[in-house]
Amino acid sequence: MHDDGISCEALERALHEGRKLTKEELEHVEGCGECMDVWLTLALESKPEVVIPENFAARVAAGLPARQPKRAIWRGNRHWGLVSAVAVVTVLMVVGFRGSPPASSWVGLLFVSVVATEIAGLALWLGPRWMGR
């Protein structure tokens, strides 16, 4: 019991029950830490009333932008990546194996093959990314 004659326990019960408080009780809540804690929790737990238009979900769904078919785009890019890779590797092979000095020894052959493989790999990997931009 406080000096205003209001019991915190009774007041907390009233708050939980949702009973309308008197002016004196509201004044008590404002000054009493314990009762304010209960009031605050209940006030924060109360959900604000919102009016959601009945057709809101349908309207939003209808206004959504159409999705691009992802796979088709990637296949197209990969196609160009492959074309560029084949072209680069062919040119390299022709230059490397047609009488140029590095390809005349087994070391040169190995070197040209490694470089050609690397270029082909890079073209395959990067081709679709660049084309996708």
Partner 1 sequence: MQGDTQFEDLIREHQGFVFRTLVRLTGSREHVEDLAQEVFLRLYRGLENFRGDAKVTTYLYRITLNVAQDEWKRRRREQTHLSFDDPDAGWEDRLPSAGGDVERILSGKQRLADLERALGELSEAERQVIVMFHQEELTYEKIAEVLSLPLNTVRTHLHRGRKKLKERLQEGRSACTTTA
When the beta carbons of 40 and 91 are compared against partner 1, the nearer one is 40
Distance, in Å, from the CA atom of 61 to the CA atom of 84, rounded to the nearest integer, reads 41
Q: Is 133 in the site for partner 1 (CB under 8 A)?
A: no
Q: Would residue 2 be called left, alpha or beta, if left means φ above 0 and alpha means ψ between -120 and 50 degrees?
A: beta
Report, in Å, the least distance between residue 6 CB and partner 1. Answer: 9
Distance, in Å, from the CA atom of 29 to the CA atom of 20, rounded to the nearest integer, reads 13
Contacts to partner 1 from residues 4-23, by CB under 8 A: 4, 20-21, 23
Q: Would residue 5 be called left, alpha or beta, if left means φ above 0 and alpha means ψ between -120 and 50 degrees?
A: left
Residue type, 46: S
Q: With CB under 8 A, what is the number of residues at the site for partner 1?
A: 38
Distance, in Å, from the CA atom of 8 to the CA atom of 2, rounded to the nearest integer, reads 8
Task: Convert residues 18-57 into a mask of x (bound to partner 1 by CB under 8 A) and - (unbound).
Answer: --xx-x--xxx-xxxx--xx-xxx-xxxxxx-x-xx--xx
When the beta carbons of 26 and 87 are compared against partner 1, the nearer one is 26
Contacts to partner 1 from residues 72-131, by CB under 8 A: none
Q: Which residues make up the interface to partner 1 (CB under 8 A)?
A: 1-4, 20-21, 23, 26-28, 30-33, 36-37, 39-41, 43-48, 50, 52-53, 56-58, 60-61, 63-65, 67, 70
